[in-house]
């Protein structure tokens, strides 16, 4: 596993400390710097940056060691030689390291050490200088070689003003101050950011700022278009509107149950393809569903016809797929809306998988209506579109691809020969998803639409997830 530098700054609160190797019994040290932490020993150290080979000498034989840096646990219960590689980032920043060691006889020792002492992290604190004149000032700290180059004033997601020279003072517009809430961000030369808030109540965290946890599921794609399930947590960065989320839980989503709505175009145009379509969908369901998963089957015709409501019984899913007979026209948008309603209250991971040979010809809903419904639902849409070779199909494909991208899914164009392979791509995507629970602290209104953006600190990787959600 390679070292990964933080994409969101060296501040003490959001430093990304990447655990590179947990136990290195036979491997040579690869870090450029060495750091040995020995209980009872104080050593004067130089600046520590980049990947550092950290070794702990707890003074207890056969001890298990826990290492925490700035409150983030990076090693848990490791045995001799008690070594990990840690990426402290490119800039020297003060870090507090805490070590706990427990011997075989349950004897416990604890101590801590501070490195890069005096190298302040990137911080910002906003305060009122003259409230009557609406004058505010932002106090900042920053690493020596990464100074603050701008402090920005925000009104929710809109940037109101920017100051590039200290003292960082703002005259806050009356309409912004009327909300009783002032938000600023400080940006360093390297592009790192820190944020702070001011509240008229004097109690930001209780009166104006809400701390929320948000669950999302993320797929990661490399430059070859392959889905990856081996991406390190430290590479992920989540922006919730203009607030950065802190990842509190991270894992493989495949371990969590999923509810899938299978939609199959069963209009008259599918007469010669229905048998192979049903067979491929059945193979997908068989390969994808595991104990605890649920699946429904809907035939997309002149109206959505649910052949099987959500069930955990695979034989019922198989029976429904094999019993579909093509007829009529295609109410695709109405079928998607029906599937969204069916999955709305599911507590599981969710997905809608749709096979069609073209666009909508019968729905009551317009494309704009289903676009709004789909994006707000937070359920990824996966489309497999039969390639008819008709020029008129291109517009339909573009619209469906837009829905897929906006909801965190994708679209694949298939022929009868590779239909099974396209379902396989969706199966692999669902298997490889990451389950992330992040915490965000900022001002929010009830029923507010929050835009979500997940980025990765690697130009070779792209994250795919829902584009947003509504607050409770």
Taking only the tens place, the pLDDT of each residue in 414-455 is: 998 999 999 999 999 999 999 999 988 777 777 888 889 998
Model confidence band, residue 206 (pLDDT cutoffs 50, 70, 90): very low
Tokens for 27?
A: 């491997």
User: For strand 64-69 and strand 72-78, is the pairing parallel, antiparallel, or unpaired?
Assistant: antiparallel
Across residues 145-156, what is the average pLDDT? Answer: 85
How confident is the model at residue 119, as a pLDDT?
77
CATH label of the domain that carries residue 139: 2.60.40.10
Question: Do both 301 and 440 map to the same domain?
Answer: yes
How confident is the model at residue 436, as a pLDDT?
95
Residue 131, CB-side half-sphere exposure with 13 Å CA sphere:
11
Asked, for residue 8, whether it belongs to a domain, the answer is: no
Model confidence band, residue 209 (pLDDT cutoffs 50, 70, 90): low
**378 within 8 A of 469, measured Cβ to Cβ:** yes
Percent of all residues in the chain with a pLDDT value above 70, rounded to a whole number:
90
Question: Do both 270 and 378 map to the same domain?
Answer: yes
**399 within 8 A of 370, measured Cβ to Cβ:** no
- Cα–Cα distance measured from residue 312 to residue 235, given in angstroms and rounded to the nearest whole number: 35
Asked, for residue 157, whether it belongs to a domain, the answer is: yes
Domain of residue 216, residue span? 210-472
| Predicted confidence (pLDDT) at residue 8 exceeds the cutoff of 50 | no
| DSSP 8-state class, residue 204 | I
How confident is the model at residue 229, as a pLDDT?
92
Question: Do both 273 and 300 map to the same domain?
Answer: yes
**223 within 8 A of 423, measured Cβ to Cβ:** no
Question: Do both 202 and 234 map to the same domain?
Answer: no
Report pLDDT digits (tens) over 92-143: 778 888 899 999 988 888 888 888 887 777 888 888 888 889 999 999 988 8
Number of domains in the chain: 3
Question: Do both 247 and 368 map to the same domain?
Answer: yes
- Between CA 240 and CA 246, with CA 244 as vertex, the angle to 5 degrees is 105
Asked, for residue 33, whether it belongs to a domain, the answer is: yes
| Predicted confidence (pLDDT) at residue 7 exceeds the cutoff of 50 | no
Model confidence band, residue 297 (pLDDT cutoffs 50, 70, 90): very high
Question: Do both 133 and 202 map to the same domain?
Answer: yes
- Cα–Cα distance measured from residue 90 to residue 331, given in angstroms and rounded to the nearest whole number: 55
Question: Do both 251 and 319 map to the same domain?
Answer: yes
- Boundary residue ending a domain (82, 115, 148): 115
How confident is the model at residue 200, as a pLDDT?
65
Asked, for residue 452, whether it belongs to a domain, the answer is: yes
Sheet holding 168-171, edge to edge: 123-130, 135-141, 168-171
How confident is the model at residue 95, as a pLDDT?
86
Asked, for residue 332, whether it belongs to a domain, the answer is: yes
Report pLDDT digits (tens) over 338-387: 999 999 989 889 999 999 987 899 999 999 999 999 999 999 999 999 88
How confident is the model at residue 156, as a pLDDT?
63
- Cα–Cα distance measured from residue 279 to residue 287, given in angstroms and rounded to the nearest whole number: 12
Lowest mean pLDDT among 205-209, 320-324, 466-470: 205-209
Full-model pTM: 0.58
- Boundary residue ending a domain (161, 183, 208): 208
| DSSP 8-state class, residue 206 | I
Question: Do both 171 and 233 map to the same domain?
Answer: no
User: For strand 349-356 and strand 258-265, is the pairing parallel, antiparallel, or unpaired?
Assistant: parallel
Which carries the bigger pLDDT value, residue 84 or residue 283?
A: 283
- Boundary residue ending a domain (57, 85, 115): 115
**330 within 8 A of 385, measured Cβ to Cβ:** no
Question: Do both 53 and 192 map to the same domain?
Answer: no
Asked, for residue 13, whether it belongs to a domain, the answer is: no
Model confidence band, residue 2 (pLDDT cutoffs 50, 70, 90): very low
- Cα–Cα distance measured from residue 54 to residue 223, given in angstroms and rounded to the nearest whole number: 33
With b for 16 or more beta-carbon neighbours within 10 A and e for fewer, the 120-150 pattern comes to: ebbbbebebeeeeebebbbebebbeebebee
- Cα–Cα distance measured from residue 326 to residue 273, given in angstroms and rounded to the nearest whole number: 9
- Cα–Cα distance measured from residue 224 to residue 247, given in angstroms and rounded to the nearest whole number: 27
| Predicted confidence (pLDDT) at residue 60 exceeds the cutoff of 60 | yes
Largest distance between two CA atoms of the chain: 81
Give the three-class secondary structure for 236: strand
Question: Do both 292 and 400 map to the same domain?
Answer: yes
Model confidence band, residue 158 (pLDDT cutoffs 50, 70, 90): confident
Asked, for residue 420, whether it belongs to a domain, the answer is: yes
| Predicted confidence (pLDDT) at residue 317 exceeds the cutoff of 90 | yes
Asked, for residue 10, whether it belongs to a domain, the answer is: no
Question: Do both 272 and 410 map to the same domain?
Answer: yes
Question: Do both 371 and 258 map to the same domain?
Answer: yes
């Amino acid at each position: 596993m390679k070292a990964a530098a933080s994409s969101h700054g060296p501040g003490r609160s959001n430093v990304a400390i990447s655990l590179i190797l947990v136990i290195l019994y036979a491997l040579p040290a690869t870090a450029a710097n060495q750091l040995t932490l020995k209980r009872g020993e104080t050593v004067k150290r130089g600046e520590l940056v980049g990947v550092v080979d950290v070794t702990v000498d707890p003074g207890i034989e056969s001890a298990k060691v826990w290492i925490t840096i700035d409150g983030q646990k990076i090693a848990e219960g490791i045995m001799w030689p008690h070594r990990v590689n840690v990426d402290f980032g490119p800039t020297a920043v003060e870090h507090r390291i805490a070590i706990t060691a427990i011997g075989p006889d349950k004897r416990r020792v604890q101590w801590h050490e501070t490195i890069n002492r005096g190298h302040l992290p990137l911080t910002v604190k906003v305060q009122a200088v003259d409230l009557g004149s609406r004058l505010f000032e932002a106090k900042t700290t920053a690493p020596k070689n990464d100074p603050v180059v701008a402090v920005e004033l925000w009104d929710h997601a809109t940037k109101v003003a920017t100051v590039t020279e200290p003292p960082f003072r703002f005259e806050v517009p009356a309409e912004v101050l009327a909300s009783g809430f002032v938000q600023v961000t400080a940006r360093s030369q390297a592009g790192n950011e820190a944020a702070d808030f001011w509240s008229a109540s004097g109690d930001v965290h209780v009166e104006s700022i809400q701390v929320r946890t948000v669950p999302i599921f993320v797929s990661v794609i490399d430059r070859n278009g392959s889905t990856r399930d081996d991406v390190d947590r430290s590479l992920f960065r989540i922006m919730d509107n203009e607030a950065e989320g802190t990842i509190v839980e991270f894992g493989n989503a495949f371990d969590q149950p999923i509810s899938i709505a299978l939609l199959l175009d069963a209009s008259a145009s599918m007469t010669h393809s229905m048998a192979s379509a049903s067979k491929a969908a059945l193979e997908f369901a068989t390969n994808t569903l595991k104990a605890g998963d649920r699946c429904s089957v809907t035939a997309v015709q002149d109206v959505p016809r649910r052949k099987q409501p959500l069930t955990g019984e695979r034989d019922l899913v198989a029976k429904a797929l094999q019993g579909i007979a093509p007829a009529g026209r295609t109410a695709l948008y109405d079928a998607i809306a029906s599937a969204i309603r069916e999955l709305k209250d599911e507590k599981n991971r969710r997905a809608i998988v749709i096979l069609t040979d073209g666009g909508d010809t019968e729905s009551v809903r317009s494309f704009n209506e289903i676009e709004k419904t789909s994006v707000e639902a937070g359920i990824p849409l996966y489309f497999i579109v039969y390639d008819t070779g008709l020029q008129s199909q291109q517009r339909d494909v573009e619209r469906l691809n837009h829905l897929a991208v906006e909801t965190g899914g994708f679209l694949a164009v298939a022929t009868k020969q590779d239909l099974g392979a396209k379902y396989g791509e969706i199966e692999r995507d669902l298997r490889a998803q990451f389950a992330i629970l992040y915490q965000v602290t900022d001002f929010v209104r009830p029923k507010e639409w929050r835009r979500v953006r997940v980025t990765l600190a690697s130009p070779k990787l792209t994250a795919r997830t829902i584009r947003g959600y509504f607050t409770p």
